[in-house]
Amino acid sequence: MNKEQKKLMIDNCGNLKNAWYAVALSSELPKSQLLSKSIMEYPLVLWRNNQGMVQVLSDRCMHRNAPLSKGKLAANCVVCPYHGWVFNGEGHCVEIPSEGPNTDRIPKHKIESFPCKEESGLIWVWMGREVPVNTPPFYLPRFEGKGWQHYFMVTDFEQGITDLVENFMDVPHTVFVHKGWFRERSQICIKANVKRTSDSVLVTYEQGKDAISFSSKILNPKGLPMKHTDNFYMPNTTRVDYVFGEMERAFIITSTCTPITPELSRVYTLITYRFGRLNALAKLFLPWYTKKVIMQDVKIMKMQADNIKKFGQKDFRSTKVDAMHLYIESLREHAEKASEEPIPPVISKEIEFWV
């Protein structure tokens, strides 16, 4: 008797699945090891072949649905833990122990495989299935030149992608959620240009006398002019730049968000910085500091998500300050609906707000 297949998040997200999603740090997958991961509720198994290339399959044996990630590796292939069926990196079954030498009895059907790449210290998986890959993964700025340093943070949020990227792009919340850690309320008026393109939301600030709380002492002791930009790139990545002078000093936060379930997201954050002589101090101080700040966002995001559950559906009220959030929502909602209507048009707006 046929049973209706369970609908997963990947089956209900429209064109949002037609993208690269970070599934793991490259360092998480050494050779001779199977790795179990999920994107959009879809279970995946990863391993490296003898050449070190990553292989990605659906994490289920086509025989009796046992998870392949609980099996073992042998001769570049994954061996199912239940009956020992053997699958290569393309998902083809190449051996069934119980059939002995009768290879003609091996089913022609294959396990679903997924395109993958390693870029910027991450393993990326293309979840588009029927849609061919036509873009590279998002470039995370590591800047290998003299004076540049970087490190990753991996953080789980009990919140969906849209609300997360809005949080990462949001300045007004910093004086409340991160009070004393990132910014102090001083009633400074900040003006910004907000531009929505077909696949991004770009915000450029006129900072004036504004500064993030530790910049005067550590980030910008010379008082160089600061340029601040907050950019969102479809469907799931933000980049926040604080640049001082002509890139003499910089603090760049790039976050790519991967939906594990509708209510759980894993965020891979690359912190890139250049502080001159203070790099050595920053190497000790920054990981602790940025972890403290991001955990404050974890807390407020869970509070928001819990309340959204209690009241059923989102019922947000917005002002002009929220232009970037409304633009993000419009792009993601258009992709989620897989609408045949034109992509929202390019639009630019000037806003101002106080912090």
Q: Among residues 319, 137, 301, which one has the least CA distance to residue 233?
A: 137
Amino acid 184: pLDDT:
65
- The C-alpha R_g of the chain, in whole angstroms, comes to 23
> Residues 192, 352: contact at Cβ < 8 Å?
yes
Q: Among 77-86, 183-192, 258-267, 277-286, name the one with the lowest average pLDDT.
A: 183-192
> pTM of the full predicted structure?
0.93
Amino acid 224: pLDDT:
75
Per-residue pLDDT band for 319 (boundaries 50, 70, 90) equals: very high
Q: Was domain 149-354 assigned CATH 3.90.380.10?
A: yes
Which tops the pLDDT comparison, 276 or 72? 72
Check pLDDT > 70 for residue 162.
yes
Amino acid 73: pLDDT:
97
Give me the mean pLDDT over the 17-21 stretch. Answer: 97
> Residues 207, 226: contact at Cβ < 8 Å?
yes
Check pLDDT > 80 for residue 79.
yes
b/e for 283-320, b at 16 or more Cβ within 10 A?
Answer: eeebeebbeeebebbeeebeeebeebeeeeeeeeeeee
Give me the mean pLDDT over the 89-115 stretch. Answer: 95
Span 9-126 CATH architecture:
3-layer Sandwich (2.102)
Amino acid 216: pLDDT:
59
Percent of the chain whose predicted confidence (pLDDT) is above 70: 93
Q: What is the pLDDT of residues 177-213, one digit of tens each?
A: 998 766 666 678 889 999 999 999 999 998 655 556 5
* Within this chain, domains 9-126 and 149-354 share the same CATH topology: no
Amino acid 145: pLDDT:
83
Amino acid 5: pLDDT:
67
Mean pLDDT of the chain: 92
Whole-angstrom Cα distance, residue 337 to residue 300?
28
Whole-angstrom Cα distance, residue 321 to residue 171?
10
Terminal-residue alpha carbon distance, the chain: 62
Per-residue pLDDT band for 341 (boundaries 50, 70, 90) equals: confident
Check pLDDT > 60 for residue 12.
yes
Q: Among 129-138, 221-230, 238-247, name the one with the lowest average pLDDT.
A: 221-230
Q: Among 13-22, 157-166, 173-182, 260-269, name the one with the lowest average pLDDT.
A: 173-182
Per-residue pLDDT band for 217 (boundaries 50, 70, 90) equals: low
Amino acid 315: pLDDT:
84
Q: What is the pLDDT of residues 113-149, one digit of tens each?
A: 999 999 999 999 999 988 889 899 999 998 888 899 9
Whole-angstrom Cα distance, residue 73 to residue 60?
15
Neighbouring residues of 189: CB distance < 8 A, sequence distance ≥ 6:
208, 352, 353, 354
Amino acid 209: pLDDT:
57
Check pLDDT > 80 for residue 215.
no
Check pLDDT > 50 for residue 1.
no
Which tops the pLDDT comparison, 39 or 223? 39
Where are the domains positioned within the chain? 9-126, 149-354
Amino acid 329: pLDDT:
96
Q: Which two tokens stand for residue 44?
A: 């995946």
Which tops the pLDDT comparison, 145 or 325? 325
